[in-house]
Copies of this chain bind each other. A is one copy, B any other.
Amino acid sequence: MLIVMRPDAVDADIERVLKVIESLGLRGHELPGQSRTAIGITGNRGSVDPANFENLPGVADAIRVTKPYKLVSSDLRPEKSVIKVGNAFIGDGSLAMIAGPCAVENEKQVFDAAEAVAASGAKFFRGGAYKPRTSPYAFQGKGEDGLKILAEVRNQFGLNIVTEAMDEHGVDMVEKYGDCIQIGARNMQNFSLLKYVGKTRKPVLLKRGLSATLEELLLAAEYVMAEGNYDVILCERGIRTFANHARNTLDLSIIPAIRRLSHLPVIVDPSHGTGHNYMVGPLALAGIAAGSDGLIIEVHPQPEKALCDGAQALTTSQYTELFEQTKRIHEAMNIAATAAS
């Protein structure tokens, strides 16, 4: 933390700041400059709250010097993390494809989707048994029965199961039946839940909140990791903006931004990120081209009959064709990367 004093700050102002620093058990270092004085703070283990200083007389600015996160940081771990999910990997340079229906509705729907997903060569299957719905009167998911169907998918098709938990009970259930615990966008800052999944040993797919900054996303991952679970995969799924042609605004610039700051893998959800079937393909390809480690995509054997988010689901044949395209883009990216190195 660096406290920058105003040019008109007097000695008493500086004394006051130094005393507050001392009262916090820290040490202040006065650094006089040509037109203004700056005061450096040392002795802190975590970050210091700038709010302690901003309103003191004579203070122009309180600037965080050290980043507020540690475990997610590339400073701590320069190489990219590779996360094992079931028997496959995310972040190892391959294109991770996680596909399946929004919600588990019944065995036939899930198995039809799983057959297409397995046939495409994807290694991960998605499907929600606990559904966070805006309305209390909307379909809320099939719960443990749904998880049992997903577990059966793993047995029959060898797909690794990624599925959402919304509370502690859900986490226990997903830990029992699934391979990766998804934390949804609306729970990205449900700090109690983050701590709870941090105590499990299943990998966590952490979706960016609708209005989360990059720092908030990284700190949400830090919550999980601070409890000892280092297997976190980040997911860009669109943010809320004024733009109304899509359900959300997919913010692909967060991919290079994450790469610069963190070792964690990041994937893209073009289904929730756009909300429209016809946009899923172009934005999936864009996500790969922007450097994503993978995609999570909604596929439904009969989108028009889906109980949840049918408008954005691909048919199984649309999905199969798209996966072929993403592989071509992924390959072109690798050639480009090899040529550059």
Contact = CB atoms under 8 A, between A and B. Distances in A.
A78 to B, nearest CB: 13
Nearest to A224: B136
A64 interface: yes
A241 B244 contact: no
Most B-side CB within 10 Å, residue of A47, A209, A245: A245
Nearest to A274: B253
B23 A219 contact: no
Contact of A331 (B47, B325, B332): B332
Interface stretch (A83-91, A155-163, A286-294): A286-294
Interface string A235-265: 0000111111110011111111100100000
Contacts of A305: 20, 23, 52
Interface string A178-213: 000000001101111101000000000000011101
Interface string A267-286: 00000011001110111011
A222 interface: yes
Contacts of A243: 213-214, 239, 251, 253-254
Contact of A239 (B241, B289, B303): B241
Contacts of A186: 189-191
A45 B137 contact: yes
A190 B191 contact: no
A112 interface: no
A28 interface: no
Interface in A90-146: 132-139
Contacts of A310: 49, 51-52, 54-55
A336 B340 contact: no
Given A242-B241, A245-B253, A136 B55 contact: no
A30 interface: no
Nearest to A211: B211
B242 A311 contact: no
Most B-side CB within 10 Å, residue of A50, A55, A291: A55
A114 B8 CA distance: 36
B241 A55 contact: no
B136 A222 contact: yes
Nearest to A196: B167
Contacts of A333: 285, 329
Given A137-B68, A336-B328, A287 B286 contact: yes
22 contacts: A46-B137, A51-B309, A55-B304, A56-B304, A68-B137, A134-B189, A137-B226, A167-B168, A210-B211, A214-B243, A240-B242, A241-B249, A243-B251, A243-B253, A245-B253, A245-B257, A250-B253, A252-B283, A253-B273, A282-B289, A289-B329, A328-B335
Given A239-B242, A286-B290, 18 more contacts: A7-B64, A43-B137, A47-B135, A51-B309, A54-B311, A55-B310, A136-B191, A166-B190, A166-B192, A187-B190, A190-B190, A245-B254, A252-B282, A257-B279, A285-B333, A289-B329, A328-B335, A329-B329
